[in-house]
Amino acid sequence: MAFSLSDIVTALGGDRRGDDVRITRLAALETATTGDLVFVTSPKHLAALQGCGASAAIVKPAMAEHLSLPLITTDNPQLYFTRLAHIFYPMPAVRAGRHPSAVVEATAHVDPSAELAAHVVIAAGAMIGARVRVLAGAVIEAGAMIGDDTVVHPRVVVHHGCVVGQRCILHVGCVIGSDGFGNAWVGDHWEKIPQIGRAVVGDDVEIGTNTTIDRGALVDTVIEDGVRLDNLIHVAHNCRIGRHTAIAACVGIAGSTTIGAYCQVGGAAMISGHLTIGDRVVISGGTVVAKSLATPGHYTAVYPIAPHRDWLTNAAHLRQLDKLVTRVKALELGALPSTPPKAPL
């Protein structure tokens, strides 16, 4: 597949500068060669761009005067590059029909335009919308619903009664609607609490590989429209994640926590249960969130890395912090002499 720069500008807008070269591939600065198109968002990368082998680049208008190679200028090069990638590398087309090994219960409804690959199971009462792709080994349990134009990758499980909206992408091995971790202690053993809510996923949601979303205990677990969940995330029962929130890999969200709209959560952050995170909150990777965050802003609670011996020394000092605070308060009240003790705290 190849397009000239003028073809690209006709399709996506922007301004062309320089020769109308043909582009056969989108590439990174480090690997670009003849026929490749790259993008740059910051002037700090101009030197690397000048030295790379790309045939053309997508840049901001203010950067164009510093460059001699053919260009497309636009206010948001990354977004432009993203949209162009959909043209160069389109998703596979839906192949309507059922593989002979697919198992579809008689009471399930599968739109004729949907694709069911090998060893797919569609249980009783499930509903599969128009142009849905259900790929090898995926299981859609009884009464579950998959909206139009959604892609269900191999070995995904959508449990009974759960709902997935339109134009979603469920990556390999993710699980929608597994039981929440509900158990009651009855003296000498645990007794399982039935999880009778659902997991409900809105439209235009992408859920990464091996991410799990538990069904609610009584009310539904809800993932609102436009959410992006990376790989290996756990969303516990009764949680709600607001629209267009993005959460990076290995995050754990305990039960009954609400995360607002337009939030960003960095990788490996841990969020305790029964909390409320407001709209437009950014949480740094590795942060442990143990209280609600109502005010928009960027929150971080990560202990800086240090050489091991230094870390041990600082940790020892931190253990004495409560004693030090108590002493300072007493000094402020005049209850202690100002001379410090002979032995360090």
Q: Cβ distance 166 to 150 under 8 Å?
A: yes
Of the residues 160, 237, 298, 317, only one is catalytic, namely: 237
Q: Cβ neighbours of residue 293 under 8 Å, at least 6 residues apart?
A: 275, 276, 277, 278, 281, 283, 299
Tokens standing for residue 192: 């399982």
- Strand 15-17 relative to strand 71-73, pairing: antiparallel
Could you tell me which residues are beta bridge partners of residue 176? 158, 213
CA dist 52 and 29 (Å) reads: 6
Taking the CB of residue 120, how many other CB atoms lie within 10 A of it?
Answer: 25
Cα–Cα separations (whole angstroms), residue 67 to 57, 104, 214, 272, 280: 9, 58, 52, 50, 37
Cα–Cα separations (whole angstroms), residue 89 to 13, 117, 205, 317: 19, 22, 20, 55
Task: Pinpoint the alpha helices (H) of the chain.
Answer: 5-12, 46-51, 77-88, 308-319, 321-332
Q: Catalytic residue at 237? A: yes
Rounded to 5°, angle at Cα 23 from 18 and 24: 165
Residues noted as catalytic: 237
